[in-house]
């Protein structure tokens, strides 16, 4: 495994002067705001079994086009930061494949966790690493498996958020305007307006029940939590020291060895001692509890065609909205025959698929497995992987 501090050209680029960099969006982002995208690419994507496996998880699959999910994530952020400024937090199983898919990202910035510890330690480590080298760094936290339809608007929203994050001890979250009473997402309750489009955040609520979700949507001041955040390295490091002090101390100690031959052993020894907790619970909730004014958390309402593709059902909905296939049948195949069939998702590349008299099915074939479920039950596909793990059927996981 390769670790170290980025040197030479990369370091000069990161600390270069205040020249403007023209962006694909037609606007500019000052280079004195050193923006570093951090992509979280761990996890197994178990709800996309049997395509998603330990060493070929959802983010490494081309579910929406020719590029994989993580390649798309990198591509839409490149106009805001060069590939040398990206950091990828992943795991040992996925790191080799990610290195092949993202050859422009320095290999020593592909950090493989020795053990999964959720999002707070992952993004926290990136904050402490960057803080040592670039004290003015602004971090963006991005999951590696989201779909963004309007990339220009996405970058424009990010530019506003980056400036706000750089302006003080501020935390910025991209909030998605809800289109339905979704129970699978966290919600952001927004308060008063701040400097134009930004809204102060009152509180975060994780995955409400159907009744609450309906109340939130009808209230008009709630947004889906996209899981995309912006903050300076200093702001995040200080927040972790305040709300997660034991883990913060461990992360700081790990970061202090980065670029030396002591880093791998220190990482393996100390990282498992970090608390297994999301950044939402570790930082955002206690920070928002300080009150709307004191919390310094801001929501940027966003409408750029966001989807987190959390299941085969979500992928079917996305593909249906995107291409309007006949009778909402999404077919990945060499040919099809459809008769009295509606709302199905079938993945059988290279095969002729005939669907007769079936509705709302999900069928996914791989060389060693076959999934048959319904769109309604597709959220439970992850339970299959749990069963396979328990039975030690590792070839299928």
Asked if 40 contacts 142 with a C-beta cutoff of 8 angstroms, the reply is yes
Mean pLDDT of 62-78: 95
For residue 167, is pLDDT > 90? yes
Asked if 276 contacts 338 with a C-beta cutoff of 8 angstroms, the reply is no
From CA 71, how far away is CA 76, in angstroms rounded?
A: 9
Q: Which residue has the tokens 């001890």?
A: 169
> Measuring CA to CA, which residue among 108, 111, 138, 162 is closest to residue 237?
138
Judging by DSSP bridges, how do beta strands 87-91 and 35-40 pair with one another? parallel
Rounded to the nearest 5°, which phi and psi values hold at 53? -130, 175
**pLDDT tier for residue 18 given thresholds of 50, 70 and 90:** very low
Asked if 188 contacts 204 with a C-beta cutoff of 8 angstroms, the reply is yes
Identify the H or E element spanning 205.
strand 198-205
Per DSSP, 79 falls in state G
pTM beyond 0.75: the answer is yes
Task: Kindly state the greatest CA–CA separation across the chain.
Answer: 65
Mean pLDDT of 276-287: 93
pLDDT score at 235? 97
Distance in Å from the first CA to the final CA of the chain:
24
Judging by DSSP bridges, how do beta strands 171-176 and 297-302 pair with one another? parallel
Q: Is 157 exposed, middle or buried (0-12, 13-18, 19+ CB in 10 A)?
A: buried
Q: What is the pLDDT of residues 255-265, one digit of tens each?
A: 999 999 999 99
pLDDT score at 184? 83
- Between 257 and 307, where is the model more confident? 257
Q: What is the pLDDT of residues 79-111, one digit of tens each?
A: 999 999 999 999 999 999 999 999 999 999 999
């Amino acid at each position: 495994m390769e670790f170290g501090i980025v040197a030479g050209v990369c370091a000069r680029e990161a600390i270069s002067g205040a020249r403007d960099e023209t962006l694909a969006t037609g606007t500019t982002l000052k280079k004195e705001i050193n923006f570093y995208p951090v992509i979280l690419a761990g996890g197994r994507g178990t709800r996309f079994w049997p395509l998603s496996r330990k060493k070929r998880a959802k983010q490494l699959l081309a579910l929406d086009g020719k590029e994989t999910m993580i390649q798309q994530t990198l591509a839409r952020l490149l106009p805001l930061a060069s590939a040398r400024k990206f950091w990828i937090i992943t795991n040992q199983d996925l790191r080799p494949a990610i290195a092949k898919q993202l050859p422009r990202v320095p290999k020593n910035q592909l950090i493989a966790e020795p053990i999964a510890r959720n999002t707070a330690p992952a993004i926290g480590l990136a904050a402490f690493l960057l803080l040592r080298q670039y004290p003015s760094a602004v971090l963006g936290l991005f999951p590696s498996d989201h779909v963004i339809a309007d990339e220009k608007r996405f970058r424009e929203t990010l530019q506003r958020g980056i400036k706000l994050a750089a302006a003080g001890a501020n935390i910025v979250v991209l909030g998605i305007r809800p289109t339905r009473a979704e129970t699978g997402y966290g919600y952001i309750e927004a308060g008063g307006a701040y400097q134009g489009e930004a809204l102060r955040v009152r509180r975060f609520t994780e995955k409400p029940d159907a009744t609450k979700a309906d109340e939130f949507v009808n209230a008009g001041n709630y947004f889906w939590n996209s899981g995309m955040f912006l903050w300076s390295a200093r702001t995040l490091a200080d927040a972790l020291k305040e709300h997660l002090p034991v883990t913060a101390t461990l992360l700081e100690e790990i970061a202090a060895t980065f670029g030396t031959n002591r880093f791998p052993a220190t990482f393996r020894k100390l990282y498992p001692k970090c608390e297994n907790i999301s950044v939402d619970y570790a930082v955002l909730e206690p920070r928002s509890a300080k009150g709307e004014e004191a919390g310094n958390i801001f929501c940027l309402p966003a409408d750029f065609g966001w989807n987190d593709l959390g299941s085969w059902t979500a992928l079917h909905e996305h593909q249906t909205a995107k291409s309007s296939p006949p009778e909402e049948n999404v077919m990945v195949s060499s040919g099809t025959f459809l008769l009295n069939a509606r709302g199905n998702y079938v993945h059988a590349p290279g095969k002729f698929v005939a669907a007769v008299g079936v509705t709302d099915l999900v069928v996914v074939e791989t060389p060693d497995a076959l999934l048959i479920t319904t769109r309604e039950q597709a959220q439970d596909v992850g339970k299959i992987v749990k069963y396979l793990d328990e039975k030690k059927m590792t070839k299928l996981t």
